Amino acid sequence: MTRPAPAYFPPPDSGLDIRYVDADLLVVDKPSGLLSVPGRGAGMDDNLASRVQARYPEALTVHRLDMDTSGLLVMARNAEVHRALGRLFELRQVEKEYIAVVAGRVAGSERSIALPLIADWPNRPRQMVDFVQGKPALTHLEVLSYDAGDDTTRVRLRPETGRSHQLRVHLQSIGHPILGDDLYAPRQILAQAPRLLLHAALLAFRHPVSGEWLSVRCEPPF
C-alpha cells in the first residue's frame, strides 16, 4: 500500500539563495522541506521551481532533490541549455557531493556501496535493495569525523548513479541511517535531528555554452 503523503508545510519564502547565475543557467541552494517541483494534491504548488520562475520566468528544471534534502540544484535558462544539461546528467558527467550525518561509527575512512535498487511498490515512495531486479547503484563514502558524544559520523558522499533515494537506502543498508530520515531510520534515529541531515554540497560540470569547468560549492547548514 502506498504511504499517505505527509502534510506539506514548506519553509517561508525568504528569498532565493542563488549561488551562480549567468545568461544560460543558474545554481540555487534549496532549503530542506521545500519540494523541487510541484507535488500532487492541493496545497503542494509552492516549490523551488515556482519560486525561481517568479524571478526567472524562463527557468527550466533539470534535476531534483528530495523534499527534505537541502542543497544545490541547477536550472537552465533556455531550451538548448536544458537539453545539454540533461545530457550531462544522463552521461554521468556531473560531479556531485553530499554531506550527511549518520547514526553510529562508520568503520574505516573510505568505502564504496554497490547495491542495486528498485521501488518498494507496496510501500511507495520507499525504495529497496533488490539483487535480482534492482538497477545498479554506486555510492562512494568518505568519513569526515566521528562524534563520540552523539555516536554519529559525518560523511561525504559521491554518487555515481542517481537512483531515487539512493544515498538514504545505501546508508540504511549498511547499518548507518541518516539522522532525521522519516522513511528509512528507526524512530530513535529519526528523533535525533529536526530534519534530514543530507545536503547537496557540490555541483561541478562543463558549462554547456562556454565549455569552462564550473564548480559550485555550498556548505551544509548543520
DSSP string for 76-144: ESSHHHHHHHHHHHHTT-SEEEEEEEEESPPPSSEEEEE--EEE-GGGTT-EEE-TTTPBP-EEEEEEE
How far is Cα of residue 93 from the mean position of the Cα atoms in its chain? Answer: 17
Q: Name the DSSP letter for residue 135.
A: B
Measured in degrees and rounded to the nearest 5, phi and psi for residue 162 equal -125, 50
Q: Are 24 and 208 in contact (CB under 8 A)?
A: yes
92 vs 84, 86, 164, 172, CA distance in Å? Answer: 12, 10, 15, 24
Beta bridge partners of 101: 154
Question: Does 151 participate in catalysis according to the annotation?
Answer: no
DSSP class of 143: E
Cell of 26: 543558474
Interatomic CA distance for residues 139 and 211, integer angstroms: 27
3-class DSSP state of 71: strand
Cell 561509527 locates to: 105
Catalytic option among 29, 66, 68, 181: 66
Q: Which residues are catalytic?
A: 66
